[in-house]
Each structure stands twice: as C-alpha cells, then as structure tokens.
Amino acid sequence: MGKLYLVPTPIGNLEDITLRAIRVLKEVDLILAEDTRNSGKLLQHFEITTPMQSHHMHNEHKTVERLTKRMQAGENMALISDAGTPAISDPGFLLTRACVEHQVEVDCLPGATAFVPALVNSGLPNDKFVFEGFLPPKKGRQTRMKFLAEETRTIIFYESPYKLVKTLGDFVTYFGADRPVSISRELSKIYEETIRGTAEEVLAYYTDKPPKGEIVAVVGGRK
C-alpha cells in the first residue's frame, strides 16, 4: 500500500519550504501539481526531478479513482498546489477523501499557508476565528454576507485584487463602516504590506491605490 503526502509549498519566499518537504518531493514516485508550469519552476530551483502530473479543480474528479488505485498498488504520491497547503481553497479534498475511504494513508506536512500570518499580524482577536475562503461571486453572496454580519468571531477571506474594492464595499454595507479590517497582500514577497483600519478607511485606501497580488482579508467579528 502506498501513501499520499499533502505538501505545502511557499506562498512567495522560496526559503519558506521545509527540509522535510524537499525530501518527500524527491522520494515519492509521482508529484500531483495544480499547475505543472508553476510547480516546475519550484522543483527546478530545488533540483527535484520526480515525475509530475497535472491535478487541478477541472480534472480532479475524473482522476481520483485511478490515482487512489495506484496508491493502493504501492505508489507514493505527493500533492502540491500553486502556493500554500493543498485543499485550503485549492484542489486536494476529493483525493484526500478517496484515500481515507480506501484506507490509503494520508500524511499532511506542516508548512506555509496564507491565512495564518494574515490573521496573526492583523492585531484582531485570533483565539477564535472563522475561515471563509473565497466569497460566492454572485449567487448566494448577499445571503452569505448577511449571515456573516452576525458572526462574533474574527472572519478570514481570500480575495483577488480585481474584486477587493467591491468586497470592501460589501463589508461597509453589511458589516458597517466602522468594522475593523486588516488586508494582507503579497505575504512573504518583496512588496508585502498589511493595511489596517475601519472598513471605510481601508476601502478608501484601495479605491485610491488599486491592489495587486494575492490578498487575505481579516475582519473583526460583531461586538
């Protein structure tokens, strides 16, 4: 019986990969990558020559059964996403669930993920929090925002730079202009920044300075 390793990869700074992650990626029989072009650069940097196969949200439901059978037959595989920990707003859940159901051992390595540093450096309460990931783009968005407006724990969202201003506007509308917000952008990269303030203040900032890069939004809960 083989094994599935879920291997976090750096969210920006390549020095954030662990020694164990490098060893596992070198030792497994196959690496399943969300985007083989992006991951190819990472593997080349660390001189990892393990064969790689595409595994993303558009094909994972078709390949899960075949991959699970290969692991049952003895192959060891590592799953990586473009950045961070697999299955956190990225592909990985379906394959992990299939392995668990078929008694294939799953080993998730600790490592990089974007929402933890964003939460910790926000200055907002982090003893209890809710991870929402990406909001629905259209259908269900208003319903979700109304529901979250009553949440008393700190709330974490992922957002694209193209939708951040719209989302901050929704925070003002549904959570209130004075709700505390912290936006962390380009974590661990050269242009990393964290902007903190009320929803209204942060909206004004990014309306004036359109953002770029990967974004984590941390919102204080209702008092």
What are the pLDDT tens digits along the chain (223 aa)? 999 999 999 999 999 999 999 999 999 999 999 999 999 999 999 999 999 999 987 777 788 999 999 999 999 999 999 999 999 988 899 999 999 999 999 999 999 999 999 999 999 999 999 999 999 988 899 999 999 999 999 999 999 999 999 999 999 999 999 999 999 999 999 999 999 999 999 999 999 999 999 999 999 999 9
Cα 62 to Cα 132: distance, rounded to the nearest angstrom: 26
Assign a CATH topology to domain 3-108: Cobalt-precorrin-4 Transmethylase; domain 1 (3.40.1010)
Handedness of CA 89, 94, 95, 101 (dihedral sign): positive
If 0-12 CB within 10 Å is exposed, 13-18 middle and 19+ buried, where does residue 49 land? exposed
Nearest in space to 170 (alpha carbons), one of 213, 131, 138: 138
Spell out the domain ranges in the chain. 3-108, 115-219
Beta strands in the chain (DSSP E): 3-6, 30-33, 52-54, 76-80, 105-108, 129-133, 154-159, 180-185, 193-198, 215-219
Cα 151 to Cα 143: distance, rounded to the nearest angstrom: 13
Among 1.10.1200.10, 3.40.50.2000, 3.10.580.10, 3.30.950.10, name the CATH number for the domain at 115-219: 3.30.950.10
Nearest in space to 12 (alpha carbons), one of 176, 185, 209, 207: 185
